[in-house]
Amino acid sequence: MRQVHDDDTPGGRQATPRRRGRVPAALLIPAGLGLLFLVLPLAGLLIRAPWTTLPERLTEPGALTALRLSVQTATLATALCLLLGVPLAWMLARVEFPGRRLVRALVTVPLVLPPVVGGVALLLVFGRRGLVGGWLDATFGITLPFTTTGVVLAESFVAMPFLVIAVEGALRAADHRYEEAAATLGASRWTTFTHVTLPLVAPGLAAGAVLCWARALGEFGATITFAGNYPGRTQTMPLAVYLALETDVESAIVLSLVLLVVSVGILVALRDRWMTTA
Amino acid sequence: MAVLVAVALVVAGCGGSADRATGGGGDGRVTGTVTVFAAASLTESFTRIGKDFEAANPGSRVTLNVAGSSALANQIIQGAPADVFASAAPANMTTVTEAGNADGTPSIFARNQLVIAVPRGNPKAVAGLADLTSPGVKVALCASQVPCGAAARTALDAAGVALTPVTLERDVKGALAKVKLGEVDAALVYRTDTRAASADVTGVEFPESARAVNDYPIVALKDAPNPNGARAFVAYVRSAPAQAVLTEAGFQAP
């Protein structure tokens, strides 16, 4: 395998020093296998896709409805996560308060929690008989399960940690002195936050939002548990894929392919611009 | 690649090949693990039948994989190492036999009828299918891709009831769970499911269910890791003691 040295390229500005010599096979082989393991299943989708019938399958109303709902709910969930998650990340990064470590651990729980458990937990709180849901139902006649709002809540619950972690990391890496300078120049805390802090962490914020959106788009377990499955209202793409697999494998492959293309497309398009917090 | 295959083999090996090694002997004795893929509605009765089977065949172990019949049929076709398939509808069995995965002809071992599951005490006073369309009554159905959903459609059509459910669940247990949690006021599930959940749920019988009776076929699978155990289990399900368990659970005899 040929190796590229940074200093081979003319004009490579202050390339990070990299050791010359062969990459040890002990690293190269497992690295290659790891890559293969991650990429092969995706390639499998491409290989098995029914390319000839793809156009008509894609334009089936059911597929389009599910895709539209997925994009809408993932976007709304990301908006909700930004609204609630950015202040939360700011608190975690900038404010000393007792129990901060515990709060940070709690915030990241949904990352490791099986989504279906998240769905059950949401039902117990926001369901018709839940702590908050019971009150909402009795007072306003609002029920959240089986509604599009329920989908947004389920997706937000699962995706918000991605945003909080990314933004908190960016805030910690950002230079405090700009904020201090703004304060000494008479800026209020809110002005400092909106005019100094936020622009400073914009790349991290964007990266977090993209991850959050992509995670929300792929959410399955919490959604089907909390919001149920009804075409046009709560049936997002992942749910449509699951049920299509029950009867029509090719249709499930096509839907999966769409989800894959959208996810990869978003990640690739944004990665170079924002994901590298230099 | 070789490493990956080796890892996969080691992982697969942990799944019980040690048990199975003794299972394929031709001496008629059943030992080792019998892996049974069973429709979600068979969860309770097959758990009991499995225990009885183990007692009758010392050295055997029954492992259940329960899910919607269509998902199970798919898993079998994709090469899941199963010994027996018990489906909640002939259609899903046909997918498996047509793919050449069955060992012999499937046989019907039970029948099941739909009821309306309501929370205990029936707060919305549901007495029949027509009541499900009343305003403020939330109903869960199974998705039409799984047998309980197909049967529900047939029954609703037979009754001439146009119903908009709030959710289409992926299997019968999912629909029942939404009733147990109180998130819906009613769900169309099998009679056997409400019996198994009698503490929280009541089953309301309705006449149109006779038009949508589900036949449950069972078959031993061709690539069964434990062919001996597979045939013995299928025979056992059709025997008197197992049929008694099924009847007690609310199934009808074929």
DSSP notation for chain A? -----GGGSTT-TTPPP---SPPPHHHHHHHHHHHHHHHHHHHHHHHHS-GGGHHHHHT-HHHHHHHHHHHHHHHHHHHHHHHHHHHHHHHHHH---TTHHHHHHHHHHHHHS-HHHHHHHHHHHHSTTSHHHHHHHHHH----TTSHHHHHHHHHHHHHHHHHHHHHHHHHHS-HHHHHHHHHTT--HHHHIIIIIHHHTHHHHHHHHHHHHHHHHH--HHHHHHT---TTTT--HHHHHHHHHHH-HHHHHHHHHHHHHHHHHHHHHHIIIII---
From the list A129, A145, A229, the residue facing B170 with the nearest CB is: A229
CB proximity list for B130: less than 8 A, separation 6 or greater:
B159, B161
pLDDT at residue A19, rounded to an integer: 56
Task: Find chain B residues with C-beta within 8 A of A25's C-beta.
Answer: none
How far is the C-alpha of B196 from the C-alpha of B183, rounded, in Å? 19
What is the pairing mode between strands B186-190 and B114-119?
antiparallel
Distance of CA B113 to the CA centre of its chain: 13
A230 inside 8 A of chain B by CB = yes
What is the pairing mode between strands B84-86 and B114-119?
unpaired
Digit-coded pLDDT (tens) for B153-212: 999 999 999 999 999 998 888 999 999 988 999 999 999 989 888 788 999 999 999 988
pLDDT at residue A91, rounded to an integer: 94
Among A residues 13-52, those touching chain B with beta carbons less than 8 Å apart: 29-30, 33, 36-37
Task: Find chain A residues with C-beta within 8 A of B68's C-beta.
Answer: 246
- What's the pTM value of the predicted model, to 2 decimals? 0.79
Instruction: List B169's β-bridge partners, or say none.
Output: B142
- How crowded is residue B26: how many other Cβ atoms within 10 Å of its Cβ? 7
Distance of CA B231 to the CA centre of its chain: 19
From the list B1, B70, B166, the residue facing A146 with the nearest CB is: B166
Asked if B145's CB is within 8 angstroms of A247's CB, the reply is yes
**The pLDDT of residue A46 is above 70:** yes
- How crowded is residue A16: how many other Cβ atoms within 10 Å of its Cβ? 7
Residue B74, classed as helix, strand or coil, is helix
Instruction: List B189's β-bridge partners, or say none.
Output: B115
B58 DSSP 8-state letter: T
B178 inside 8 A of chain A by CB = yes
pLDDT at residue A209, rounded to an integer: 94
Task: Find chain A residues with C-beta within 8 A of B165's C-beta.
Answer: 230
**The pLDDT of residue A4 is above 70:** no
CB proximity list for A201: less than 8 A, separation 6 or greater:
A167, A170, A171, A174
The residue in chain B having the minimum alpha-carbon distance to the alpha carbon of residue A35 is B1
pLDDT at residue A18, rounded to an integer: 56
How far is the C-alpha of A135 from the C-alpha of A137, rounded, in Å? 5
B224: confidence class by pLDDT, cuts 50, 70, 90: very high
pLDDT at residue B20, rounded to an integer: 41
Asked if A249's CB is within 8 angstroms of B74's CB, the reply is yes
Q: What secondary structure, in 3-state letters, does B101-161 show?
A: CEEEEEEEEEEECEEEEEECCCCCCCCCHHHHHCCCCCEEEECCCCHHHHHHHHHHHHHCC
B37: confidence class by pLDDT, cuts 50, 70, 90: very high
E strand or H helix at B63: strand B60-67
How far is the C-alpha of A88 from the C-alpha of B58, rounded, in Å? 59
The residue in chain B having the minimum alpha-carbon distance to the alpha carbon of residue A234 is B167
Digit-coded pLDDT (tens) for B95-132: 999 999 999 999 999 999 999 999 998 999 999 999 99
The answer to whether the B5-111+215-249 and B114-211 domains have the same CATH topology is yes
How far is the C-alpha of A74 from the C-alpha of A117, rounded, in Å? 20
Question: Domains of chain B: which residue ranges?
Answer: 5-111+215-249, 114-211
Distance of CA A263 to the CA centre of its chain: 10
pLDDT at residue B167, rounded to an integer: 94
Nearest-5° Cα angle at A159, A157 to A165: 110
CATH code of domain B114-211: 3.40.190.10
Statement: B5-111+215-249 belongs to CATH 1.10.600.10: no
pLDDT at residue A3, rounded to an integer: 47
Cβ atoms of B38 and B86 within 8 Å: the answer is yes
How far is the C-alpha of B93 from the C-alpha of A278, rounded, in Å? 57
Distance of CA A143 to the CA centre of its chain: 26
Measured between alpha carbons, how far is residue B154 from residues B168, B175, B211, B254 in Å?
Answer: 15, 17, 7, 20
Instruction: Give the dihedral sign, CA B125/B129/B134/B136.
Output: positive
End-to-end alpha-carbon separation of chain A, Å? 29
Average model confidence (pLDDT) across chain B: 87
pLDDT at residue B1, rounded to an integer: 46
Interface test with A, best of B183, B184, B185, B200 (most A CBs within 10 A): B183
Cβ atoms of B96 and B85 within 8 Å: the answer is yes
Torsion angle, alpha carbons of B80, B86, B90, B94, to 10: 30
Q: pLDDT: is B71 or A164 the higher one? A: A164
How far is the C-alpha of A268 from the C-alpha of B143, rounded, in Å? 36
Task: Find chain B residues with C-beta within 8 A of A242's C-beta.
Answer: 170
Point out the least confidently predicted range of A161-175, B25-39, B145-159, B162-176. Answer: B25-39
Asked if B169's CB is within 8 angstroms of A128's CB, the reply is no
Cβ atoms of B242 and B254 within 8 Å: the answer is no
Cβ atoms of A182 and A196 within 8 Å: the answer is yes
